Structure 1
Amino acid sequence: MSRYRGPRFKKIRRLGALPGLTSKRPRAGSDLRNQSRPGRQLVNHRHILVNGCTVDIQSYRCKPRDIISARDEQKSRTLIQNYLDSSTNEELPKHLTFHTLQYKGLVNQIIDRKWVGLKINELLVVEYYSRQT
């Protein structure tokens, strides 16, 4: 099987390296604290307990006075500790209380809309889902 040498290859060779398309590197400081995907992966891989029970559903809804903790295995604690070390500058939301030494957190109240880090127009969301029915 030979290499592809068609017109597309010739264009790419003529243009050279295209920044942003050919050289993707992670940005400095882009780690677990800026992404929800690694946090969801912790839940999916059963590293997180809620009230002593394993939770593997990323969209699990916690209630006030729920205790969120890490599993008692060394691997789970190491992953959580790496996250805590990398996110020392983060401000903890007011609806959560965290105990660093015990790897436990407490849900004080339901999250307020202003603490969500996304700017969402609720009217557009309602309009979108009303069209699907």
Structure 2
Amino acid sequence: MSRYRGPKLRISRRLGDLPGLTRKKSNKALPAGEHGQQVRKPSEYSLRLEEKQKLRFNYGLNEKQLLKNIKLAKKVPGSTGIILLQILEMRLDNTVFRLGICPTIPSARQLVNHGHILVNNNVVSISSYQCRPGDTITIKNKVSSIALVKKYMLFPSLVNIPNHLEFNKEMLIAKVNGIIERENVALQLNELLVVEYYSRK
């Protein structure tokens, strides 16, 4: 299944607030669908599926990528759900988004893919690159790159930069100080339901 490229507001109406997907807010109070609200109580499977879809759409992953990250998280000792969130949060595209350089994760991915971002003074154009503590993230010393980032920074994405990152807005230099803590993850979801969803596959 390829990455979703359809209407983003429809997804956020169905799944709730996804800060990485879109900044748009719907004026409609009821969820998407012919009759607005579900009459039936959702099944356990539908609850797990919904949490999994939140993760997929927020971080812009396809099914294969998410499954690969789940398998990777299971190999690391500790809570699989929290480790999965840490793996996804430490991706380069998400780190650029959390620094406030881009309004959404798709725009951060485009910035990375077009070679505007340097990690430890090397151009990294792979958005799934895993940032590590001690990494320095800078903008390419090119007029077009700096102008694009400054334009994006006029409309910051999230209010606060998480504790594991620090960013100098004048010099446009960021540093990864550690691994993100669970309470600093911006997405509201129950990661245990995602692990349960894949444990039954």
TM-score by length of 1: 0.69
SS of 1:56's equivalent in the other structure is coil
Matched, 1:37 2:118: no
- Please report how far the alpha carbon of residue 76 of structure 1 lies from its aligned counterpart in structure 2 after TM superposition: 0.6
Alignment of 1:1-133 (within 5 A): 27=24, 32-33=102-103, 35-87=104-156, 90-132=159-201
- Please report how far the alpha carbon of residue 109 of structure 1 lies from its aligned counterpart in structure 2 after TM superposition: 1.0
The range that moved more, 115-124 or 35-44, is 115-124
Q: 1:64 to 1:89 in 2, by over 3 A?
A: closer
SS of 1:38's equivalent in the other structure is helix
The range that moved more, 66-75 or 91-100, is 91-100
- Please report how far the alpha carbon of residue 96 of structure 1 lies from its aligned counterpart in structure 2 after TM superposition: 0.9
SS of 2:146's equivalent in the other structure is helix
Larger radius of gyration: 1
Q: Aligned partners of 1:125 and 1:83: how far apart in 2? A: 32
The CA RMSD measured in Å over matched residues stands at 2.3
* Bigger strand share: 1
Aligned residues: 104
SS of 1:86's equivalent in the other structure is coil
SS of 1:106's equivalent in the other structure is strand
Letter in 1 for 2:161: L
Q: 1:88 to 1:37 in 2, by over 3 A?
A: closer
Q: Aligned partners of 1:75 and 1:39: how far apart in 2? A: 15
Give runs of ≥4 in structure 1 deviating > 3 Å: none
Greater length-normalized contact order (CA 8 Å, ≥ 6 residues apart)? 2
- Please report how far the alpha carbon of residue 79 of structure 1 lies from its aligned counterpart in structure 2 after TM superposition: 1.0
Q: Aligned partners of 2:160 and 2:196: how far apart in 1? A: 33
Among the aligned pairs, what percent are the same residue? 42
